[in-house]
Amino acid sequence: MDVMTAILTRRSVRALRAPGPSDEEFAYLLRGAAAAPDHGGLRPWRWILLRDTDVEALAARPAGGTEPRPRDRDARSTTSAPLRAVLVFSPAPDQDVPEWEQLAAASSVAYGLMLLLHARGFGSSWRTGRLCAGHEARDLLRLGPGERLLGALDIGTPEASTRPARRCCPDVSDRVQRLGRPVGAAGTAGA
């Protein structure tokens, strides 16, 4: 699968079943994803792999009394996915690279991993919602004081019955501009 095809055919898949990637396969794909741009090569992230009872233990934690945001209502803390890979942002302190750049690097790894999983036939969905609300999940996962939960990738084999809607690629030329010209007036390359 070429890169453009992978990007255009990847969709968030929420109905997932076994098998998911083994720990070894996850590590292999993460090696690829870790090739994402990373200012300073700090790798300011780590992953915690949850399966079976680990996922249930996390789901059993109360959400800290925090009401979910309206758009998070479907962000259940339970999942049918055989693997829930929690993404922890671990910014390196006292670096010339500001924290926001490190956050951008961590996000790039997550997206790269989703693409690689997709190209391998796995589905994934990035979940935040209740998982990131409150301190309960932080405590269970034993996050350090400077660390932050960026959510989790639910990973598995897409249910055969779920055929994700085709991606419609909107025109985003209005998000591009050339200096000194109005938004949407980028012109053609080299113009």
Ligand X SMILES: Cc1cc2nc3c(=O)[nH]c(=O)nc-3n(C[C@H](O)[C@H](O)[C@H](O)COP(=O)(O)O)c2cc1C
Tell me the backbone φ, ψ of residue 73, rounded to 5 degrees: -55, -30
Please compute, for residue 61, the number of CA atoms within 13 A of its CA located in the half-sphere on the CB side. Answer: 21
Q: Does 12 bind ligand X (CB under 6 A)?
A: yes
Q: Does 151 bind ligand X (CB under 6 A)?
A: yes
Q: Does 118 bind ligand X (CB under 6 A)?
A: no
Q: What is the 3-state secondary structure (H, E, C) of 100-119?
A: HHHHHHHHHHHHHHHHHHHH
Stretch that binds ligand X, among 19-27, 127-135, 138-146, 153-161 (CB under 6 A): 127-135
Q: What secondary structure does DSSP assign to 141-162, as a single string?
A: HT--TT-EEEEEEEEEEEPTT-
Q: Does 67 bind ligand X (CB under 6 A)?
A: no
Taking the complex as a whole, the smallest distance from the CB of residue 86 to ligand X amounts, in Å, to 13
Q: Does 75 bind ligand X (CB under 6 A)?
A: yes
Stretch that binds ligand X, among 19-27, 30-38, 56-64, 125-133 (CB under 6 A): 125-133
Identity of the residue, 76 or 177, whose beta carbon is nearer to ligand X in the bound complex: 76
Distance separating alpha carbons of residues 73 and 100, to the nearest angstrom: 28
From the CA atom positions of the chain, what is the Rg in Å?
Answer: 19
Taking the complex as a whole, the smallest distance from the CB of residue 14 to ligand X amounts, in Å, to 6
CA 119 from chain centre, in angstroms, equals: 16
Q: 19 is written with which tokens?
A: 């098998």
Q: Does 59 bind ligand X (CB under 6 A)?
A: no
Among 61, 84, 127, 138, binds ligand X (CB under 6 A): 127
Q: Does 11 bind ligand X (CB under 6 A)?
A: yes
Q: Does 162 bind ligand X (CB under 6 A)?
A: no
Q: Does 66 bind ligand X (CB under 6 A)?
A: no
Distance separating alpha carbons of residues 109 and 88, to the nearest angstrom: 12
Chain positions contacting ligand X, by CB under 6 A: 11-12, 72, 74-75, 125-129, 151
